[in-house]
A and B are shown apart, each in its own frame.
Chain A
Amino acid sequence: MAEPASLTDTDTDTAIAGLAVSLRGVTKVYDNGVVALGPLELSVRKGEFVALLGPSGCGKSTALRLIAGLAAPTSGTLHLSHRQGETRLGRTIGFVFQEPTLMPWTSVKENVRLPLTLARAPAAEADARVNEALTRVGLSEFADSYPRELSGGMKMRVSLARALVTDPDILLMDEPFAALDEITRFRLNNDLLALWRNLKKTVVFVTHSVFESVYLSQRVIVMTSRPGRIGAEIPIDAPEPRGEDFRTSAEYAQLCRKVSAALAPSYSGQSAL
Chain B
Amino acid sequence: MSSQTPPTPASPSATDTGALRVTRLLLPIVVLAVGTLAWELVVRLNNIPPYVLPGPLAVLRTLVADWPVLSQSLLTTLLTTLEGFIAATVGGIGLALLFNQSKWLEYSLFPYAVILQVTPVIAIAPLLLIYLPQQTAVIVCAWIVGFFPVLSNTTLGLNSVDRNLAGLFQLYGASRMQTLRLLKLPSALPYILGGLRIAGGLSLIGAVVAEIAAGTAGAGSGLAYRIAESGYRLNIPRMFAALLLLSVAGIVIYGLLALISHLVLRRWHESALGKEN
B268 / chain A contacts, CB cutoff of 8 Å: 104-106, 146-148
Check B167 for interface membership: any CB of A closer than 8 A.
Answer: yes
* Max chain A C-beta neighbours (<10 A), residue from B165, B167, B172, B268: B172
Given A97-B164, A101-B165, check contact A119 B173 (CB 8 Å). Answer: yes
Q: How far does the alpha carbon of A173 sit from the alpha carbon of B169 in the complex, in Å? A: 16
Within 8 A of A (CB), among B220-277: 267-269, 273, 277
A101 with B189: CB separation less than 8 A: no
Q: A99 vs B169: C-alpha distance in the bound complex, in angstroms? A: 15
Q: Is the pair A93, B171 in contact by a Cβ cutoff of 8 Å?
A: yes
Q: Which one, A106, A115, A148, contacts B172 given CB within 8 A?
A: A115
Bound together, the chains give a CA A115 to CA B170 distance in angstroms of 10
Known contacts: A105-B186, A114-B182. The answer to whether A146 contacts B267 by CB under 8 A is: yes
Q: Given A99-B164, A101-B162, A148-B273, A68–B171 Cβ distance below 8 Å?
A: yes
Give chain B interface residues in 134-184, CB to chain A under 8 Å: 162, 164-165, 167-174, 178, 182-183
Query: Judging by beta carbons under 8 Å apart, are A95 and B168 in contact?
Result: yes
| A114 CB contacts on chain B under 8 angstroms | 168, 172, 182
Residues of B with C-beta under 8 A to A105: 186-187, 189, 267-269
- Inside 8 A of A115's CB, which chain B residues have their CB? 172
Tell yes or no: A34 within 8 A of B by CB.
no
Please measure, in the bound complex, the distance between the C-alpha atom of A105 and the C-alpha atom of B267, giving whole angstroms: 7
- The residue that B182 contacts in the complex, of A65, A69, A91, A117, with Cβ under 8 A, is A117
Across-interface contacts of A148 in B (CB, < 8 A):
268, 273, 277
For the complex, give the distance between the alpha carbons of A117 and B169 in Å.
Answer: 11
Q: Mark B180-203, 1 if CB is under 8 A from A, else 0.
A: 001100110100000000000000
Give the complex CA separation of A119 and B178 in angstroms: 10
- Residue A70 is within 8 A (CB to CB) of chain B in the complex: yes
Q: Tell whether A1 is near chain B: CB-to-CB under 8 Å.
A: no
Interface membership of A264, Cβ < 8 A: no
A15: chain B residues at CB < 8 Å are: none
Nearest chain-A residue to B189 (Cβ)?
A: A105
Please give, as numbers and ranges, the residues of chain A lying within 8 Å of B162 by CB-CB distance.
101
B263 to chain A, nearest CB (A): 14
Chain B residue at minimum C-beta to C-beta distance from A110:
B182
**Contacts between chains A and B (CB distance < 8 A), count:** 55
Instruction: Please pick, from B172, B186, B269, the residue contacting A91 in the complex, using a CB distance under 8 A.
Output: B172
B178 touches A104 (CB 8 A): no
In the complex the two chains form, what is the Cα distance from A98 to B167 in whole Å?
A: 13
- Bound Cα distance A91, B165 (Å): 18
* Residue among A70, A93, A105 facing the most chain B CB atoms (10 A cut-off): A105
Tell me the count of chain A residues lying within 8 A, CB to CB, of chain B.
24
Nearest CB on A from B105, distance (A)? 25
Considering the complex, give the chain B residue whose CB is closest to the CB of A68: B171
A106, B189: Cα distance in complex, Å? 13
Instruction: Find B168's partner among A69, A101, A119 (CB 8 Å cutoff).
Output: A101
Decide yes or no whether A103 CB sits under 8 A from chain B.
yes
Given contacts A146-B267, A148-B268, contact A103 B165 (CB under 8 A): yes
Bound CA–CA A166/B173 (angstroms): 13
Q: Looking across the interface, which residue of chain B has its beta carbon closest to that of A71?
A: B167
B-side contacts of A101, CB under 8 Å? 162, 164-165, 168
**What B residues does A93 contact at CB under 8 A?**
171
A166, B168: Cα distance in complex, Å: 13
Chain A residue with minimal CB distance to B183? Answer: A103
C-alpha gap A105/B269 in the complex (Å): 7
Q: For residue A99, which residues in chain B have a CB less than 8 angstroms away from its CB? A: 164
Q: How far is the CB of B271 from chain A (nearest CB, A)?
A: 12
Q: How far, in whole Å, are A124 and B262 apart by their CA atoms in the complex?
A: 33
A118 in the interface, Cβ–Cβ < 8 Å?
Answer: yes
What residues make up the interface of A, taking CB atoms closer than 8 Å to B? 65, 68-70, 91, 93, 95, 97-99, 101, 103-106, 114-115, 117-119, 146-148, 166
Q: List 21 A-B contacts (CB under 8 A).
A: A93-B171, A95-B167, A95-B168, A95-B171, A97-B164, A101-B162, A101-B164, A101-B165, A103-B183, A103-B186, A104-B268, A104-B269, A105-B186, A105-B267, A114-B172, A118-B174, A118-B182, A119-B172, A146-B267, A148-B273, A166-B172
What 10 pairs between A and B have smallest CB-CB spacing?
A101-B164, A118-B172, A105-B186, A104-B268, A97-B164, A115-B172, A118-B174, A105-B268, A70-B167, A146-B268
**Extra pairs beyond A70-B170, A101-B168, A103-B182 (20, CB < 8 Å):** A95-B167, A97-B167, A97-B168, A98-B164, A99-B164, A101-B164, A103-B186, A104-B269, A105-B186, A105-B187, A114-B168, A115-B172, A118-B172, A118-B174, A119-B173, A146-B267, A146-B268, A148-B268, A148-B273, A148-B277
